[in-house]
Structure 1
Amino acid sequence: MESHDLWIFKHVAELQSVSRAAEKLGYVQPNVSQRIKSLEDELGVRLFMRNNRGVTLTEEGNVLLDYTNQIIQLMDEAKSLINPQKWRESLKLGASQTISAVKIPQLFSSFLREHKNIDVKVRTHDKQKLQEMLSYGELDGVFVNGAYNCSQFEIVYSYFEKIVLISPENSQFEKQHDQTLIVNSDPNCIYRNKTLHFSKENKFRDPAIMEFDSLESILQAVHDGLGISIIPADVAKSRKEIQLIQCKELSEAIKIDFIIKQRKQQPQSLTKFIRFLQFDNTWNGLYFPFDEASN
């Protein structure tokens, strides 16, 4: 097996499509298909099941993807150790748009002061997509709230986030039941669900619901008097537009977990990041056992 063939295989597996992988890599589709066929012939097994929507990994394909991620990871680490000026370590993390709005930049600001040779990339998406990307090796770790696939992932760190109810400047908190609920369009968004739960708990009378795809749109909607919403307290403190919005801190807090994929070998950059989380007292979180013996 050649490393370049594994690189192509990894792209097809992650994108679940030969054509999309070819487009991303800048190759013609027949060449990608031939590389995959050569791998399958060499190994004597099928790596993908073809369907109308693209391809999905077979059981053998999943095994190869796991080893492929390890091989590529070790190659990248070797290059960064041999020539750190040319080859920098990388750390790819994911979080929802709201979680990544304030906390994550604050965290990396501190982390990168200690680890200047690590390039950090943060992908924002909905919870389901982030777990899928973590599973395929596109991400090294993800910040999530709530249930996750415990057979594949493990929690290595958690923190609690205070939340606030925001409302238009001239509205009265005791009359919030007359307000429209401004929420994220993602049905799994924890802040959306907290807003809906708040309305139910406070006996709102069939409140109207207005959905937006971005945190900035939600803030602007509340600012313009369209309704109320629940957001992280840190977001409220960091936005200038919040000065013209009323904020009321709620008694409960949201638990945010940092999860990683269960595997024998973790990237060195991820190990450094987890160690940073667990020993940085300014982050005020809870850490879980993490075996560094194999790292």
Structure 2
Amino acid sequence: MELSQLRIFQAVAEEGSITRAASRMHRVPSNLSTRLKQLEENLGVDLFLRERQRLTLSPAGKVLLGYAERMFALQAEAEAALRGGEPAGDFVIGSMFSTAAIHLPPMLVRYHRTWPAVNLQVQTAPSGELLEGLLAGRLDAALVDGPLEFAELDGLPMFEEEMVLITEAAHGPVKSAQDVAGLEVYAFRQSCSYRRRLEGWFVASRVPMAPPMEIESYHSMLACVIAGGGIALVPRSMLESLPGRDEVRVHQLAAPFNRTTTWLMWRKGMLGANLRAWIDLQQGGPVAG
């Protein structure tokens, strides 16, 4: 099993297609097909389920992908160590949507200017999916809603967010979930930690929450609330960045639903040069690992 074969396997797994993976790697599809078949023959397992025009990972493929990501991370760390410990190679960081929009841009610019040799990549998703990416080795670090207790992960608190409930402008004061009972709820998909906080707020008031209408954008959530009849839970910093924010009514929530802390998380034992440099730039000073 060669690293070059694993790179091909990783590209096909991410693209779901040999043709798209070949285009991404600037190679011909037949070459990738041959190398992938050789890898499966050497391992004695099928790495993909071939369904119509798309390839999906088999159970064995999912296991191998996790190991492959860790091997690539270790390779990058080894190369950095041989260069004197300076950050280099790939560094993939995950982020919640609101964090990526509000807090991440200046951090990314500062990091890239300081360490231009690092191939910095950002992937956005709800907290639950980011944690899955960390544990599977697809991400080197992730900014998620915390605090979190995972035996496999380490982390540091980065900044606090105030969470607010928004309704249409004409809605009256909201003291509890009873005041919005029966209204449409706009939220991200189930793996979103902010959605779970909203669900917890309803539970605390012993009020059933309407099945959420899943929306993948804060802009769309705001537009739906402005249109009337629904609610959404959003970070105040995100709301203040959106056009149309003055067309909704903002309601403060009681503790513990009104505040949340964003954490930077990573796999234990994987605090390499790239991640150390990220933490040092944000907080200053060396980090023990």
TM-score when scaled to structure 2?
0.72
Counterpart residue number, 1:277: 282
Aligned to 2:159: 159
Contact 1:141 1:258 in 2 (8 A): yes
Tell me if the contact between 2:186 and 2:212 (Cα under 8 Å) persists in the aligned partners. yes
Counterpart-to-counterpart distance in 2, 1:64 and 1:177: 48
Higher mean alpha-carbon deviation, 237-246 vs 110-119, is at 110-119
1:97 aligns with 2:97: yes
Pick from 194, 199, 204: which aligns with 1:201?
204
Q: Deviations over 1:218-244 (max 9, x none)?
A: 111112223121111211222232122
- The one-letter code matched in structure 2 to 1:104 is L
Q: Tell me the equivalent position of 1:254.
A: 260
Contact 1:133-1:139 within 8 A present in 2 as well = yes
Are the aligned partners of 2:128 and 2:193 in contact in 1 as well (CA < 8 Å)? no
Pairing of 1:178-217 with structure 2 (within 5 A):
180-204=183-207, 207=210, 209-217=212-220
TM-aligned CA deviation for residue 47 of structure 1: 7.4
Equivalent residue of 1:99, what SS?
helix
Q: 1:173 is matched by which residue type in structure 2? A: P
Instruction: Verify: 1:71 aligned to 2:104, yes or no.
Output: no
Instruction: Return the offset for 1:144.
Output: 1.7
Q: Secondary structure of the equivalent of 2:100?
A: coil
Letter in 2 for 1:154: D
Of residues 158-167 and 66-75 in structure 1, the stretch that sits farther from structure 2 once superposed is: 66-75
Residue of structure 2 equivalent to 1:283: none
- The answer to whether the Cα contact below 8 Å between 1:40 and 1:47 also exists between their aligned partners in 2 is yes
Greater alpha carbon shift after TM alignment, 129-138 vs 270-279? 129-138
The offset of 1:143, in angstroms, is 1.3
Q: CA deviation at 1:189?
A: 1.3
Q: Which runs of 5 or more structure 2 residues have no equivalent in the other structure?
A: 51-55
Local SS of the residue matching 1:248: strand
Amino acid at match of 1:103: H
> Is the 8 Å Cα contact of residues 157 and 277 (structure 1) preserved in structure 2?
no
Q: Alpha-carbon deviation of 1:163?
A: 0.9
Pairs within 5 Å for 1:235-254: 235-250=238-253, 251=255, 252-254=258-260
State the secondary structure of the residue aligned to 1:259.
strand
What's the counterpart of residue 53 of structure 2? none
Per the TM alignment, residue 172 of structure 1 is displaced from its structure 2 partner at its CA by 0.8
Instruction: Tell me if 1:145 matches 2:151.
Output: no
| Distance change in 2, residues 1:22/1:165 (3 Å) | same
Do the aligned partners of residues 15 and 72 (structure 1) sit closer, same or farther apart at CA in structure 2, a change above 3 Å counting?
farther
1:187 match: secondary structure: coil
Q: Aligned partners of 1:114, 1:24: CA distance in 2, in Å?
A: 28
Q: Once the 2 structures are TM-superposed, how far is the Cα of residue 216 of structure 1 from its aligned partner?
A: 1.1
CA offset digits 1:77-114 (Å, max 9, x no partner) = 599x79x9xxx765321122233231223543555565
Amino acid at match of 1:141: A
Flag structure 1 segments of 5+ consecutive residues without an equivalent. Answer: 281-286
What is the aligned length?
276
- In structure 2, how many angstroms separate the alpha carbons of the residues matched to 1:30 and 1:149? 45
Which of 208, 227, 246 does residue 230 from structure 2 map onto?
227
Task: Report SS of the residue matched to 1:238.
Answer: coil
Q: Secondary structure at the match of 1:255?
A: strand
